[in-house]
Amino acid sequence: MMMRWLYKLPLRLRSLFRRDQVELELTDELRFHLGKLMEENVARGMTPEEARYAALRELGGVEQIKEECRDMRRVNYIENFLQDICYGMRMLAKNPGVTTVVLLSLALGIGANTAIFSLLNAVVLKALPVQHSEQLVQFSETYPDGSENSNLSYPYFERLRHRNQSLSGVFAFTELGRVNVGFAGKADLAIGQVATGGYFSTLGLTPVAGRYFTDEDDKARSPVAVISYAFWQRRFGGDPFIVDKSITVNQAPLTVIGVTPPAFLGLQVGDSPDITVPMTLLGQLTPGPPDWDGAFDTWLEIMGRLKSGVTRQQAQAEFDLLHHQLLTDFAPTAGPDERQYVARMLANSRLNVKPGAKGFEWGLRHDFSLPLQILMMMVGAVLLIACANVANLLLARATARQKEIAVRLALGAGRARLVRQLLTESVLLAAISGAVGFLVAWWGSQLLLRMVSTGDSPLPVDLTPDLRILAFTTGVSLLTGVLFGLAPALRATRINLTPSLKEGRGQFAGQGRRRAFGLDRILVAAQIALSLTLLVGAVLFVRSLQKLWAIDPGYDRNNVLMFSLDPRLAGYKENGKLADLYRRVLNDLRTLPGVRSASLSLVRPVDDEAYWVNVISAIDGRKLPENEGIRIAVNALSPGYFATLGTPMLIGREFGPEDNEKSPQVAIISEILARRCFGSENPLGRSITRHGGAQFRIVGVVKDSRYGGVRDLPRSVLYTPFFQLSLADVFFSTTFEVRYSGGLSTMLDEVRRQVHTIDPTLPLFRVKTLEVQTRDSFVKERLIATLSTFFGFLAVLLACIGLYGTLAFGVARRTGEIGVRMALGARQHDVLWMVLRETLLVVTIGVAVGFPCAVAASRLLASQLFGVKPTDVVALSGGSLLLAAVALFAGYLPAKRASEVDPMVALRYE
Amino acid sequence: MSKPTDLVQGTLDLLILKTIALDPMHGWGIAQRIRQVSGEVLQVNQGALYPALHRLEQSGWIKAKWGESDNNRRAKFYSLTTAGRKYLEQEQANWQRLSAAIGLVLETP
């Protein structure tokens, strides 16, 4: 019966768009009928007037017939909906002040929620953009002491690959860090990684251009490379002929064979490799031979894909057995030092098979998962407060419109229709807020990302909102629309008609008093309780950050500029050349004006990239029992390091030019290490031996400092002279530290110029002051402190706006009553007190309820706090007092206004 | 004359459709014709006529055209659509079956 639509569709469209015409026709049609009736009546002998009245009576209610015909038009719903929207817009525009406040607070609430959710999604929730990501698994090893390591050894990987039954594919990968990529004569830095042949096929990626390398390529050591989409765009300008072009990576010639899809950002959130190379090429790209044989030297990360039908639990069971087998196989290869270690491992270690759908779980995801969830809850609370505000404001406005609603009800409007119309208004508000909120979210998440990026470039985290976030914002908007639209709408239409239709405000006053603690007061109290919780949380985080910053790191953070060089990338390969270069840079730096002292080191203070560990196996030649070797951190320094950093030497001396490649190995040890090795005896002149046999004579003891960052406890550190290292074998880049006076940017320019003069092909990177480096090491704490403070204060502001609004409206409603009271003799401060009493009640209840909530919530946050207890007195009392003060101020204003009411005016208003 | 019987909505539809099956007619004409043909028994409720006509039009069974009435006044004339014709046949058959069945029941002693 589709033929009918040929007629139906034009009718519908006409009813929608040519309504006036259609109405006219209906009138004409009925008029014609009336005319005919009149004719009949006249023919029967009535006068024209009588005929007309008789005809009208016969026909019945013309308007009713018209209305029924209109109902038949079947476009009513659309019409009504459009009508509701237009009316809603007009109502909103009528009250620009209220509308703006409501829109802004909602937009901010929705925007903040979406922004945090985008970040949470990108860092914690999003799955890898590969097919069937739920089949991916990642491996890690748990050690007897409970610690977990995501790295495994090459022999282990090889056997795992050959012997497992549960996986359809498995691969290993590891990062290369910074590599020098040369193309068309220019060299530039990029982030590289090596992976075994199964990397791309196991993940199931489709190349955007070219192809990927496979196990065959890996075995054949093909000199090939796969680049990322972003790198392709950035470095090669999206060259369509990139496939088969030649490049050099750390001076090794390779051919680009493929490009990964733009959505693929690597396996670890925040680490996006620009270039991936077959694992077998590792020896050509890094100094020193790779450790293919050390069964217990862990340096690879391994992921795999389960065969279809195999569950992770089944795989775990298989790998539990396999792990034991492999350890048994490897046990004979262990050196004499390692026997006990192996035995312990056999008894009590485990290979974990974890879900890998979202990629590798270490790094950024690990660090930020909990803080982001905490922030999510905070913004959720802010949104609730905003919704409560809006609910109150609309409730108040609905009460003010009671007369209008009563009239409409009396005229025959259905309650359903009215509720629908009021609801449409609210949903409209929510929709507009949602749209604005989405923009706020977009801008906000970019801001967030910048706050979190501490490296040389913004974190490669993909923050484009995907469907989940879109659905989330829409859902939140609609939910708020229904939440705060329904209550006021239902309340407003559930009124007794007669009192409302009568003029005057008297009945409002009566109503106000009977509901002494109505919905609006409860909402405000709840808002106050919530904002107290947020405020206390914010204060706790801020205090944590303060405590972190105040820790004495053992050095002077101010006015120290740091930068790193990696001359290997520019082709310096031999020890001699490297030493000369470093010496030259150091000396030239020292001659610059404004430089008070300069040094270089292998590991920078508060290093965010790596640190170096080892074990002391002998003191004064006397070997320590096998599992009592002293665990140490290691660094290699030039002369002047401690002077530059401002760490005092306790006894002995710093390194000097006499400690070089030809002189005996010396070392400086930290206070704690001195105490551990030698107790209260003088360590100078004594010797210690490091794992591997190297022996050092101690020439100095330095005060303890925080090696890895302020949260690090003072460690046992062994410092050796930089120039006594075999520089060509060193894997890290070198950091120069410069203590300067004067302006930072001038210093920076001079340093760059100086290095450029020495060698223009040497790129500087990781250029930061020590202060910024320290600050960046707290990025998590700073993020959460900044945001929680912002949201805490926002919550307080919104709650106080809510309080103010409710009270102001109450006062406005009771103007008549106040006038009467004053006329009967009440004085100004009596009225003031009367209104203030209400404020006091609401605030007291809010704080009373909020206090235990704040304590409970703070307990949940305990893991993120530093040096501050969850029940910190300052936070709790400070937060409560601050909130109470602001709230009382917000309540004072309407009270003041109430007390200034002129009784004559008020009474006349009635 | 016995009191004119009120017509149920479904039957009104059927009568309207049948009335305009041969000639296009305006609302007034339809009401008149039904009265005449039924021997003054069936008097269409004027309040129900126009909603019924509009409903039938919206459902696509009848179509409308503006034209001139016998006294040169503008009126809206309704006629059957193809689908409407088929619908009429269907409904007519149903009605006949229904009335026959009722008749059978009423005749049994």
How large is the C-alpha radius of gyration of chain A?
38
On the question of pLDDT at A694 being above 90, the answer is no
For residue A189, the cross-strand partners are A180
On the question of pLDDT at A606 being above 80, the answer is no
A597 CA to centre of own chain: 39
Amino acid at A387: C
The answer to which of A94-98, A264-268, A708-712 has the lowest mean pLDDT is: A708-712
Mean local confidence (pLDDT), A107-116 = 84
> In chain B, which residues have their Cβ closer than 8 Å to the Cβ of A35?
73
**Strand pairing report for A186-195 and A275-278:** parallel
Mean local confidence (pLDDT), A739-765 = 88
Whole-number pLDDT of residue A465: 62
> In chain A, which residues have their Cβ closer than 8 Å to the Cβ of B74?
28, 32
Whole-number pLDDT of residue B24: 92
Whole-number pLDDT of residue B4: 44
Q: How far is CA A294 from CA A280, A285, A300, A472, in A?
A: 16, 20, 12, 49
Mean local confidence (pLDDT), A300-308 = 91
Which B residues, 25 through 64, put their C-beta within 8 Å of a C-beta on chain A? Answer: 26-28, 46-47, 50-51, 54-55, 57-61, 63
**Strand pairing report for A695-702 and A148-149:** unpaired
Whole-number pLDDT of residue A709: 67
On the question of pLDDT at B62 being above 50, the answer is yes
DSSP one-letter code for A336 = G
The reply to whether residue B47 touches residue A59, judged by beta carbons under 8 angstroms, is yes
What does the alpha-carbon distance between residue B42 and residue B36 come to, in Å, rounded to a whole number? 8
Whole-number pLDDT of residue A337: 67
Residues of A with CB under 8 A from a CB of B: 1, 3-8, 11, 25, 28-30, 32-33, 35-37, 58-61, 64-65, 68-69, 71-74
Domain spans, chain A: 3-74, 133-355, 367-548+779-909, 567-762
Phi, psi of A221 (to 5 degrees): 55, 40
Mean local confidence (pLDDT), A661-668 = 89
Q: ipTM value, please give it.
A: 0.86
* Largest distance between two CA atoms of chain B: 56
> What global pTM score does this model have?
0.71
The reply to whether residue B47 touches residue A64, judged by beta carbons under 8 angstroms, is yes
Whole-number pLDDT of residue A512: 43
Q: What's the 3-state SS for A161-226?
A: HHHCCCEEEEEEEEEEEEEEEEECCEEEEEEEEEECCHHHHHHCCCCCEECCCCHHHHHHCCCEEE
Neighbouring CB atoms inside 10 A of A45's CB total: 8
On the question of pLDDT at A755 being above 50, the answer is yes
Mean local confidence (pLDDT), A303-321 = 90
What does the alpha-carbon distance between residue A465 and residue A110 come to, in Å, rounded to a whole number? 14
pLDDT, greater one: A543 or A807: A543
Q: Which residues contact A654 (CB under 8 A, 6 or more apart)?
A: A639, A640, A641, A642, A643, A668, A700
Q: Which residues contact A681 (CB under 8 A, 6 or more apart)?
A: none
DSSP one-letter code for A664 = P
The answer to which of A17-26, A505-514, A544-553 has the lowest mean pLDDT is: A505-514
Mean local confidence (pLDDT), A684-689 = 89
pLDDT tens digit string along A326-338? 888 888 887 776 7
Whole-number pLDDT of residue A225: 93
Whole-number pLDDT of residue A587: 92
The reply to whether residue A33 touches residue B59, judged by beta carbons under 8 angstroms, is no
Q: How far is CA A406 from CA A118, A413, A721, in A?
A: 45, 10, 89
Residue B72 touches partner A, C-beta closer than 8 Å: no
pLDDT tens digit string along A824-848? 887 888 888 888 888 888 889 999 9
Whole-number pLDDT of residue B1: 37
On the question of pLDDT at A276 being above 80, the answer is yes
For residue A706, the cross-strand partners are none
Nearest partner of B53 among A25, A795, A151, judged by Cα: A25
What does the alpha-carbon distance between residue A248 and residue A226 come to, in Å, rounded to a whole number? 13
> A668 falls in which pLDDT band (50, 70, 90)?
very high
Whole-number pLDDT of residue A497: 55
Mean pLDDT computed over every residue of chain A: 83
Percent of chain A at pLDDT above 70? 92
The answer to which of A337-341, A494-498, A766-770, A876-880 has the lowest mean pLDDT is: A494-498
A-B Cβ pairs (cutoff 8 Å, strict): 71
On the question of pLDDT at A561 being above 90, the answer is yes
Q: How far is CA A763 from CA A179, A374, A563, in A?
A: 12, 40, 10
What does the alpha-carbon distance between residue A297 and residue A256 come to, in Å, rounded to a whole number? 31
Mutate which of A1, A7, A39 to disrupt the B interface (most B C-beta within 10 Å)? A7
The reply to whether residue B50 touches residue A3, judged by beta carbons under 8 angstroms, is no
A852 CA to centre of own chain: 28
On the question of pLDDT at B3 being above 50, the answer is no
Contacts of A391-394 with C-beta under 8 Å, sequence gap 24+, read A391/A483, A391/A484, A391/A487, A391/A488, A391/A523, A392/A520, A392/A523, A392/A524, A392/A802, A392/A805, A392/A806, A393/A98, A393/A101, A393/A102, A393/A802, A393/A805, A394/A102, A394/A426, A394/A484, A394/A485, A394/A488
Nearest-by-Cβ selection for A74 from B27, B58, B73: B58
Mean local confidence (pLDDT), A285-305 = 81
pLDDT tens digit string along A319-362? 989 998 888 888 888 777 677 777 778 878 888 888 888 877 77
Asked if A776 contacts A454 with a C-beta cutoff of 8 angstroms, the reply is yes
**Strand pairing report for A630-637 and A717-721:** parallel
Nearest-by-Cβ selection for A7 from B27, B63, B66: B63
pLDDT tens digit string along A370-385? 888 888 888 888 888 8
Whole-number pLDDT of residue A626: 67
The answer to which of A72-81, A530-539, A576-585, A638-647 has the lowest mean pLDDT is: A72-81
Nearest partner of A566 among A228, A273, A180, judged by Cα: A180
Fold category of B9-107 in CATH:
Arc Repressor Mutant, subunit A (1.10.10)
Asked if A189 contacts A180 with a C-beta cutoff of 8 angstroms, the reply is yes
Whole-number pLDDT of residue A714: 76
> A492 falls in which pLDDT band (50, 70, 90)?
low
Q: What is the dihedral of CA A460, A466, A470, A471, to 10 degrees?
A: -130
Mean local confidence (pLDDT), B10-37 = 90
> A506 falls in which pLDDT band (50, 70, 90)?
very low
Asked if A170 contacts A161 with a C-beta cutoff of 8 angstroms, the reply is yes
Total residue length of chain B? 109
Mean local confidence (pLDDT), A626-632 = 74
Q: Which two tokens stand for residue A715?
A: 């460690």
> In chain B, which residues have their Cβ closer than 8 Å to the Cβ of A76?
none
Nearest-by-Cβ selection for A32 from B26, B47, B63: B26
Q: What 3-state class would DSSP assign to A734? A: strand
What does the alpha-carbon distance between residue B109 and residue B102 come to, in Å, rounded to a whole number? 13
Residue B68 touches partner A, C-beta closer than 8 Å: no
Angle at which helix A744-758 crosses helix A575-591, to 10 degrees, equals 140
Nearest partner of A492 among A430, A428, A415, judged by Cα: A415
The reply to whether residue A32 touches residue B69, judged by beta carbons under 8 angstroms, is yes
The reply to whether residue A32 touches residue B75, judged by beta carbons under 8 angstroms, is yes
On the question of pLDDT at A117 being above 70, the answer is yes
Asked if A30 contacts B26 with a C-beta cutoff of 8 angstroms, the reply is no
What does the alpha-carbon distance between residue A882 and residue B19 come to, in Å, rounded to a whole number? 83
Nearest partner of A401 among A89, A87, A91, A81, judged by Cα: A91
Question: Which residue matches tokens 């320590």?
Answer: A624
Whole-number pLDDT of residue A529: 92
For residue A737, the cross-strand partners are A562, A599
Whole-number pLDDT of residue A500: 55
The reply to whether residue B51 touches residue A73, judged by beta carbons under 8 angstroms, is no
Mean local confidence (pLDDT), A68-73 = 80
The reply to whether residue A65 touches residue B51, judged by beta carbons under 8 angstroms, is yes
Domain spans, chain B: 9-107
> In chain B, which residues have their Cβ closer than 8 Å to the Cβ of A55?
none
Q: How far is A406 from chain B (nearest CA, A)?
A: 30
What does the alpha-carbon distance between residue A648 and residue A330 come to, in Å, rounded to a whole number? 47
How large is the C-alpha radius of gyration of chain B?
15
The reply to whether residue B50 touches residue A65, judged by beta carbons under 8 angstroms, is yes
Q: Which residues contact A459 (CB under 8 A, 6 or more apart)?
A: A270, A364, A449, A452, A453
Whole-number pLDDT of residue A516: 42
Q: How far is B103 from chain A (nearest CA, A)?
A: 33
- Exposure string (b/e) for A581-613, b if CB count within 10 Å is 16 or more? bbbebbebbeebeebebbbbbbbbbbbbeebbe
pLDDT tens digit string along A632-664? 888 899 999 999 999 999 999 999 888 888 888
Q: How far is B99 from chain A (nearest CA, A)?
A: 27
- Exposure string (b/e) for A627-648, b if CB count within 10 Å is 16 or more? eebbebbbbbbbbbbbbbbbbe
Asked if A647 contacts A702 with a C-beta cutoff of 8 angstroms, the reply is yes
On the question of pLDDT at B89 being above 70, the answer is yes
Whole-number pLDDT of residue A505: 44
Q: How far is B63 from chain A (nearest CA, A)?
A: 7
Total residue length of chain A? 910
On the question of pLDDT at A179 being above 70, the answer is yes
Q: How far is B105 from chain A (nearest CA, A)?
A: 35
Mean local confidence (pLDDT), A294-299 = 80
DSSP one-letter code for A123 = I
